[in-house]
Structure 1
Amino acid sequence: MSLYKVTIIGSGNWGSVVAKLAAVNTLKYPSLFDYKVYLYVYEEIVEGQKLSEIINTTHVNVKYLKGHILPDNIVAIPDLFKACVGSDILVFVLPIQFIPNVCYQLRYRVKKTAIAMTMIKGFNVEDGRLSLISNTIRRELNVPCAALMGANIAEGVIREEFCEATIGCNDLQHSEIFKKLFETKYFRIRCVPDEETVEMCGALKNVIALAAGLVDGSRAGSQNTKATIIRLGFVEMIEFCKRYFPNTRLETFFESCAIADLIASSYGGRNRKVAEYFANEPEKTLAELEEEMLQGQKLQGPITAANIYSILERESEVEKFPIFRAVHLTMIKKIPVSEFMLCVQNHPQHSIL
């Protein structure tokens, strides 16, 4: 049997961490995987050097994961096609806004037998309707696509702190391959046959993390308040998934991709952090805060919040999801941060006997 060639598409902090996980396991399973892991790097100049060359010579992603040594079997390649040619496993770990162009460039150029995985926490809206990133990958590349989501803040995983992730994959054989590619003694994985819910939870929790950050930054309440926002947000996540994906499995919400990721993101993570500063510094735009705090990386939460709002508004369902609504309107400055809590205090949950 030929060995699986692996490409990680995206070299931000999480993409670099994922490349490390894969690189460790390609060496662990030499009869299954090609030992090299190819990392597509959007070329940038850092201190006068090309980022891809820095990674290949020092084994450090000095732009997005400074201070951490990556395995030397990771090969950084700044050309998308060269990074992906002949690959059997394509792992997408890049900002959602780049997916259409990346898929367009790879169309008709990937192996017909390839399999894909998305770790992108977001979704698109096409013709007013929700469209999963995995669906875009399947449609454009004509390959099956699973999803991996979980309570996996990059800084903790690169330090090898114990955590979990969830793989949503409806093909048992592919689940086994992905599990061997990414699981380690500190990064444990559960596989569930519920691709859509796993992927959606990864997107929706970012919006609730923004809500948690707004509460923290505005000092609108105690930990009691924040816990209430998280619980109500969790309910909205479940209701949104059930509304648009009728085959959603309730038990999936108790996996790492949902409840655990929601908790982790609401107390750590970039969406919560930036939202806290957003509440404290109303004179600054979201773009300015992203540039200052994220070294040019983009938040996925505000994009997801806008997409949720557009879908719900189109179907006249906005009022049934007060937290999703309030987060979007606050982040685009249609309502002041001081009014955020007023928008959620009469939540439909509280009218249920």
Structure 2
Amino acid sequence: MTHTLKLAFAVLLIALGPQAARAEPVADFPSRPIRFIAPIPAGGSTDVLTRDIARRLQERWGQPTLVENKPGGAGSMGAAMVARAPADGYTLLLVNVGHAINGHVYSKLAYDPVKDFTPVVHATTIAMGLFVNPSVPAKSLAEFMALARAKPGGFSFATSGNGGAGHLGGESFKAATGIDMVHVPYRGSAPAIADVVAGQVQVSFADVPLAAPHVKSGALRPLALAAPRRSPTLPDVPTFAESGVANQELSVWVGFLAPAGTPREIVDKLNREIVAIIREPAMTARLIGLGFEVVASSPDAFAQTIQTDYERFGVIVRSARIKAE
């Protein structure tokens, strides 16, 4: 290659950006370690899911696959790291439904939740529901609504924090029914549900895996699930729709994103591998045991889910004037 051609090629690489210099045939991917950024503390159910997938990818591909926990800012700190990462498929972000909420409840983010990422796979969904302390004299959602209407502001509902999925679920329920309840934000789901079990707060919007052990022990009473169908974990609990309150679906989806601009061939390869792992019988059984519903979607289907929820949550946040702490 002549000096002139070398110079022209270098100029072309600069014009195309760093992604061009990193391009590799999809057949060679991955040729080095992959990182999963989990913007949550270690040890929770979604962290376990990510580590299980990373372990199986490492076994299938023979490349180190690492999980790095980067909690903070309701997931926004880890998301910012991945948004700035090279768009080559070697850095992935674990996300849940809070990713579609953060853009509305935080006045400033270092990234755009939709434009700065490429969806890879919607892995699983976790159902959420309305749970009460057994001291509340309501055995159904209709009975609870009657009690709440008779005493406006007389009930408080605990959630994982301002702007979380539980908070949006409670505000959506209030708007749909005209019920007045007081929001009590906690720093995490575990302390919120613990205070409802202890009777310090009467009500909680919480996810099924967290609440189910307390339901089975009799420490919590489930009234309705914010899901399109009943949960295998709590099959006797009706949905909001079955209980006469429509449009209250607020399941917590869990999935993985790559930086925007990641080549579609790489995204599709990641999707195929992760979907195959999730659908392994042993993995499926493990996820169901943790309270997950297996989804294993295409990248395009996940993109539509994120966009739909981003727009829907924006309406709820603006209506209830929710701001993150």
- TM-score of the pair, normalised by structure 2: 0.31
Say which structure is richer in helix: 1
Higher relative contact order (CA 8 A, sep 6+): 2
- TM-score of the pair, normalised by structure 1: 0.29
